[in-house]
Structure 1
Amino acid sequence: MPKTSIDDRDWLAEAVRKVEADANRSADTHLHALELPFPGVDVYLKDESVHPTGSLKHRLARSLFLYALCNGWIHRGSTIVEASSGSTAVSEAYFARLLGLPFVAVMPRGTSAEKIALIEWYGGRCHFVDHAREVYAEAQRLADECDGHYMDQFTYAERATDWRGNNNIAESIFAQLAAEPHPIPAWIVVSAGTGGTSATIGRFVRYRRFPTRVLVADPEGSAFLDGWDQDRSDVVTDHAPRIEGIGRPRVEPSFVGGVVDDMVRVPDAASIAAMRWVSDLIGRPVGGSTGTNMWAVLGVAAQMVERGETGSIVTLLCDGGDRYAHTYFDDRWVAEHGLDPAPYAERLAELIRTGTFTASR
């Protein structure tokens, strides 16, 4: 192991300062109270799309860079390589440019054109594979080939974030709820891409001894729910999830099933219907994973009302819908992929008309 020179330490110190300065320049994300017809149940949407790179993954990318820098894995001139379906790569490309480092994103060919354009705008290069299962080995191969560093978000997401506090997303949620009618949420609902967010929130509520429960909403084609249900980490699926940024064809190392209280499968067409419905509700477009989260939230809220329970539910607005103008917001694309959001959209319209909602029928 070569010794670290004074020059290397100076570069590292400056790199950490730049990443920390980015955090200091970024205000906390907003928590929106949604007006929904669930008596005694308050629903909140934490808007992660207002980060500098437009998604929840900005937090993860910052943590991964700090983790890799302080572990001595990234050096002056290192090429950063990541396996990603889009948003993490956008955020990592931002931080790589901040540090003056080359960046390569390994991703499936079906990744939205808008995300590809953002990665390239930040100076990154996109390297495509035919199937989501191929991204891991290809990213490692490219990193080895250029003597770079494979960030490997799917392994390190759960350990790079300080789940005890230090302004993580869980601590932020509870601080923002402090003056609300139900300051300790009954449920926090998230979806899983790496599993890092559910791990951070699940560990935090246990560490702080809150009664809050964590629900993970999983899209079609993802292995997380089956792995959690069977208590197995070796579950794989034949089909890659279609909702970008969440769901995986294998149970990722960063997914910590032991801190998850419940999981639910959300049909892709329901995610798209809910995504469009939320967009109309708040007056601006949101992404598909937000639709997945919201469909699960509505099911939980309806169950709470049915049982006579009161309380609050928090979920995440993961990214903006402008990244999906040519996919989930495009009726032709939706039809070509065999999806029919209409029946789910009718259930959402029924919720507004009658105040009743059934997640599955």
Structure 2
Amino acid sequence: MNPWLSQAMARIEADYQRSADTHLIALPLPRFAEHGIDLYLKDESTHPTGSLKHRLARSLFLYALCNGWIREGSTIVEASSGSTAVSEAYFARLLGLPFIAVMARDTSPEKIAQISFYGGQCHLVDTPSQVYDQAQALAQASGGHYMDQFTYAERATDWRGNNNIAQSMFSQMAHERHPIPRWVVMAAGTGGTSATVGRYIRYQRYATEVCVPDPQGSVFAAYHRSGDASLVGQGSRIEGIGRPRVEASFIRTVVDRMLEVPDIDSVVAMRALSALLGRKVGPSTGTHFAAMLTLAQEMRARGEQGSILSVLCDAGERYLPSYHHPDWVQRTFGDCTAAQARLDAALA
């Protein structure tokens, strides 16, 4: 084996061995628990780079290295709204490689600062739809490698096991009241994690269904209904999830249900969950929580018991000047009163 490649693989493996598994949090929601319905979040914010995308970045690097796409000195380029780029910048620095993130200009300054902290460069574009072509062009110009998370996310992770997120989630649920979840809720950015979870569930023959909550402006829900891969949309305002086009890694046939979640509901749910946990979470976690509450209400109305499992994607400190700032929310999404009333009704 090429000595540099062998060393690169060893460094990633050593980094993995230094990291413990992430925690499973049981949400204190007695109004549902008394009806036999339990809600859980796997806390992915505790990864070294602070988000669920740390797993994806590791898998993408290993996949590209094993395919011979990354060599010593290769410039790594990615199209990313933030968290994937932060994690890929971390692994690029680990291997001593240059990294360029192509992202929309309105990406949170906190994420841009984190990419820079890990030695990455940020190439900003005016609209999310420009990131793909710009990333490809930069990779070609530098003689480097375009990671292309939106194509390779669903195939870079071994969905059968190998301690992927699905296997970890189900192992941690083993001693809970309802160890096999009724639902796993997993929003889609690339679609890679929902594909991994859906495939793992079927491989293990679990009686669990996958629900993907989709924010406004994303095309995934419409694609799930129609199967039309040519659909385009405005793009999501919930950072990190939803897409303006159908991505190759989103596998609609492993998704049992889509739930379209209004942006304001995601923000209000984010605030409520932050208060419930005593620490701030990000907006995509709010989208997850809003969908979990909808499913829990439906189960309660039908007299069903069981568990609902999802992920805490990242910490809310990255979003203090935006999604956690009342004035910014008012300017961006409008009044929260009606959404807050819906959430209060769900929790009561």
Query: Hey, what's the Cα distance between the residues in 1 that align with 2:255 and 2:113?
Result: 35
| 2:51 aligned residue | 55
| 1:256 aligned residue | 251
Q: CA deviation at 1:311?
A: 0.5
SS in 2 for 1:49: helix
1:350 matched to 2:341: no
Dislocated runs of 4+, deviation >4 Å: none
| 1:221 aligned residue | 217
Q: CA deviation at 1:20?
A: 1.2
Post-superposition CA distance 1:189-242 (Å, at most 9, x none): 0100000010000000000100100000000000100001101211111x2210
Query: Hey, what's the Cα distance between the residues in 2 that align with 1:179 and 1:263?
Result: 29
Note if contact 2:238-2:263 (Cα within 8 Å) is conserved in structure 1.
yes
Query: Hey, what's the Cα distance between the residues in 1 that align with 2:160 and 2:334?
Result: 41
Q: CA deviation at 1:346?
A: 2.4
Post-superposition CA distance 1:151-187 (Å, at most 9, x none): 0000000000000000000000110000001000000
Among 166, 172, 179, which residue is 1:176 paired with? 172
Query: Hey, what's the Cα distance between the residues in 2 that align with 1:349 and 1:248?
Result: 29
1:18 matched to 2:11: yes
SS in 1 for 2:259: strand
Among 323, 328, 336, which residue is 2:331 paired with? 336
Q: CA deviation at 1:48?
A: 0.4
Deviates more, 1:343-352 or 1:116-125: 343-352
The one-letter code sitting in structure 1 at the alignment partner of 2:187 is: S
Q: CA deviation at 1:341?
A: 2.4
SS in 1 for 2:134: helix
Aligned ranges 1:176-195 → 2 under 5 Å: 176-195=172-191
- Across the aligned residues of Structure 1 and Structure 2, the Cα RMSD in angstroms comes to 0.9
Query: Hey, what's the Cα distance between the residues in 1 that align with 2:314 and 2:334?
Result: 21
1:147 matched to 2:140: no
| 1:316 aligned residue | 311
Note if contact 1:131-1:240 (Cα within 8 Å) is conserved in structure 2.
no
**TM-score normalised by structure 1 residue count:** 0.94
Note if contact 2:263-2:333 (Cα within 8 Å) is conserved in structure 1.
no
Q: CA deviation at 1:348?
A: 2.4
| 1:358 aligned residue | none
The one-letter code sitting in structure 2 at the alignment partner of 1:202 is: G
Note if contact 1:161-1:200 (Cα within 8 Å) is conserved in structure 2.
yes
The one-letter code sitting in structure 1 at the alignment partner of 2:318 is: R
Query: Hey, what's the Cα distance between the residues in 1 that align with 2:333 and 2:194?
Result: 30
Q: CA deviation at 1:16?
A: 0.6
Among 74, 88, 98, which residue is 1:102 paired with? 98
**TM-score normalised by structure 2 residue count:** 0.98
Among 144, 148, 163, which residue is 1:167 paired with? 163
The one-letter code sitting in structure 1 at the alignment partner of 2:20 is: A
